[in-house]
Amino acid sequence: MLCKKQLPQRFEELVKKYDAVVIGAGNGGLTATATLAAKGMKTLLLEQHNLPGGFATSFVRGRFEFEPSLHEISDFGPSEDKGGLRMLLEDRIGLDLDWIRLPEAYRLVIPNEIGGKLDITMPFGVEEYIAKMEEKVPGSATSVRKFINLCGEVVDALGYIGSSKGNPDKKILTAKYPNFLKSAPYSLQQVMDSLKIPYLAQKILVAYWCYLGLGTKRVSFTIFGAMFYKYLVKGAYIPKYRSHGYTCALDKKIRELGGDIEYNTKVEKIFVENGKIIGVETSQGDKIKTNYVVSNASPHLVYNNLIYPKSEVPEIAYKTCNARKVGFSALVVYLGLDKTFKELGLNEYGYFVYSSPDTNDIYKAFSVLDTPMAQATICLNNGIPDCSPKGTSIMSFTTLFRGDCWEGVEPKDYFDLKSKLAKAMIEDFEKALGVSIQDSIEEIEIATPATFANYTGAFNGSIYGYEPEPWDSIMPRLMSMNGEVYIKGLQFSGGFAARCHGYSSSLLSGEMAALLNYKNFLEEQKS
């Protein structure tokens, strides 16, 4: 056990003291810091990189500014019908930025679908979506409407649970949201089958599955249903000036609220005594007293590398981490093209191209270092026409890989391998869409799991958090959230937290983590 006389001498001589420290300026860390600062807590945000955002940033190659990871944000909505995320950023934090609504939900292309190539563009809006589905799959409207209505009940139920601050009335849940309760333990595939949705309609419905990184037989229906419904009803949005625009705006707002931020500063230790946080140590040698930490770094990283002494990590914390599976990392190909999107025949913003109709087969293939079987590709100009110089356009091609499947790649083979995979993705897209892109490439950059691990410190370069299987999706995590506080004063935000992964979830998770620590802070002040 670590007693005060065993603490490093500099710790006792420390001048700096903060009510709360936030580790990592990713999406969740930024909203957590803004929320704590707005509540009047003296808050310090520590980030190892030299700028905010983590995956939510931008970078420049030649005359093009690329968006590293974001495809689209859900639960945002128009200003007259705000979603939960827009209310957080605009109403509660106070950002005033330009956001762009995307023109369509997605274009789905499965060249090897049973019965022939599937190529369909789906719209936003419940009635518009159902009408398009019925046109493509006659007789599907009734079952698809039941599916969408069930997704709507899921969203309403989660909203109620959120408003109850984690203490929902079981009678209200049973009376108002019975189908939500019935469907909660099941996978997406089980729910679709129970509603007797036609095969082809199922393939169209689940196009967003790769955003969660689990095949339909394993992904929780609850989290998919909530994501799907929010996209359908609220539309999808992107920041006009890339993710870097809103993360820098959050940096500015934090400072306006009295919060402090230190970049190029890594947290090396979280000091714990008798199960309670008492401070942190940074890579700059500073030792900072605090009793509250919000970590945007994963529990894997915190419990294995940061808690000091290690004897303060209870065995159950390790068991909880080991029971969960870390989600995928990615390979992303960024292209700056010397032709316009119209000249190239790219008429949509988002494309899902799957070489197999079976999502579960594709999921397994993500663990093998071979030609990708799936890609989520965007043409940014179809959302933001002037995002690149006149006469040009920007594209990015994203596929998923298990981070550890890159471990055996020798440094001498690395660049050839990622170039080979990038070329295969571009060629698959060209063939599936009937377009020609390669002759128009002016700039190209390729990111791998090693890239993401390098600039964010993410475990295995994971761009996702823990996989949201039915036993470990949003509902089980929210229900067990208080029981998983293994060290007093420690909360988690970001993709590994209770709300699961994704931009919207990560941003909202930061506020939730901050409010939980603020509640405990107030109670401690009273005692």
Residue 134 forms part of a structural domain:
yes
Q: Tell whether 335 and 455 lie within a shared domain.
A: yes
Distance (Å, rounded) from C-alpha 463 to C-alpha 473?
A: 17
Query: pLDDT tens digits, residue range 386-416?
Result: 999 999 999 999 999 998 899 889 999 999 9
Question: What's the pLDDT band for 78 if we cut at 50, 70, 90?
Answer: very high
Per-residue model confidence (pLDDT) at position 2: 39
Per-residue model confidence (pLDDT) at position 194: 98
Per-residue model confidence (pLDDT) at position 76: 97
Lowest-pLDDT range of 299-303, 427-431, 458-462 = 458-462
Question: What's the pLDDT band for 7 if we cut at 50, 70, 90?
Answer: very low
Residue 519 forms part of a structural domain:
yes
Per-residue model confidence (pLDDT) at position 137: 97
Q: Tell whether 339 and 441 lie within a shared domain.
A: yes
Read off the pLDDT of each residue in 12-33 and give the average, rounded to a whole number. Answer: 89
Q: Tell whether 339 and 301 lie within a shared domain.
A: no
Structure tokens at 365: 């293939």
Work out the widest C-alpha separation in the chain, in whole angstroms. 75
Q: Tell whether 317 and 334 lie within a shared domain.
A: no
Read off the pLDDT of each residue in 456-468 and give the average, rounded to a whole number. Answer: 89
Per-residue model confidence (pLDDT) at position 459: 82
**1: pLDDT strictly greater than 50:** no
Q: Tell whether 414 and 494 lie within a shared domain.
A: no
**11: pLDDT strictly greater than 60:** no
Question: What's the pLDDT band for 258 if we cut at 50, 70, 90?
Answer: very high
**50: pLDDT strictly greater than 80:** yes
Residue 275 forms part of a structural domain:
yes
Query: pLDDT tens digits, residue range 312-341?
Result: 999 999 999 999 999 999 999 999 999 999
**19: pLDDT strictly greater than 60:** yes
- 447 SS3 class: strand
- 476 SS3 class: helix
Read off the pLDDT of each residue in 421-446 and give the average, rounded to a whole number. Answer: 98
Q: How far is CA 89 from CA 75, 94, 332, in A?
A: 12, 6, 28
**37: pLDDT strictly greater than 70:** yes
What are the residues whose beta carbons fall under 8 Å from the beta carbon of 431, sequence distance 6 or more? 111
Q: What is the mean pLDDT of the chain?
A: 94
Contact 320, 294 (CB under 8 A): no
| Count of residues making up the chain | 527
Per-residue model confidence (pLDDT) at position 401: 95
Distance (Å, rounded) from C-alpha 130 to C-alpha 124?
A: 10
**255: pLDDT strictly greater than 70:** yes
Question: What's the pLDDT band for 82 if we cut at 50, 70, 90?
Answer: very high
Q: Tell whether 440 and 486 lie within a shared domain.
A: no
Residue 10 forms part of a structural domain:
yes
Q: Tell whether 490 and 449 lie within a shared domain.
A: no
**5: pLDDT strictly greater than 90:** no
Contact 429, 351 (CB under 8 A): yes
Q: Which helix (H) or strand (E) holds 145?
A: helix 141-163
Residue 143 forms part of a structural domain:
yes
Distance (Å, rounded) from C-alpha 225 to C-alpha 84?
A: 16
**240: pLDDT strictly greater than 90:** yes
Contact 90, 99 (CB under 8 A): no
Structural domain count of the chain:
3
Helix, strand, coil percentages (3-state) for the chain, rounded to 5, are 45, 20, 35
Residue 351 forms part of a structural domain:
yes
Per-residue model confidence (pLDDT) at position 166: 65
Phi and psi of 468, rounded to 5°? Answer: -90, 70
Per-residue model confidence (pLDDT) at position 109: 98
Read off the pLDDT of each residue in 82-109 and give the average, rounded to a whole number. Answer: 97
Contact 394, 358 (CB under 8 A): no
Per-residue model confidence (pLDDT) at position 10: 45
Q: Which domain holds residue 160?
A: 125-207+215-233
Per-residue model confidence (pLDDT) at position 144: 98
Last residue of a domain, one of 459, 487, 505: 459
What percent of the chain has a predicted confidence (pLDDT) above 70? 97
- Residue 269's nearest CA partner among 317, 309, 313 is 309
Q: Tell whether 175 and 280 lie within a shared domain.
A: no
Per-residue model confidence (pLDDT) at position 164: 77
Q: Tell whether 478 and 381 lie within a shared domain.
A: no
**431: pLDDT strictly greater than 60:** yes
Contact 384, 103 (CB under 8 A): no
Per-residue model confidence (pLDDT) at position 13: 52
Q: Tell whether 332 and 455 lie within a shared domain.
A: yes
Question: What's the pLDDT band for 4 if we cut at 50, 70, 90?
Answer: very low
Question: What's the pLDDT band for 12 if we cut at 50, 70, 90?
Answer: low
Q: Tell whether 398 and 420 lie within a shared domain.
A: yes
Q: Tell whether 229 and 147 lie within a shared domain.
A: yes
CATH of the domain at 484: 3.50.50.60
Question: What's the pLDDT band for 114 if we cut at 50, 70, 90?
Answer: confident
DSSP 92-116: IS-----EEE-S-SEEEEETT-TTS
Residue 372 forms part of a structural domain:
yes
Last residue of a domain, one of 400, 432, 459: 459
Residue 82 forms part of a structural domain:
no
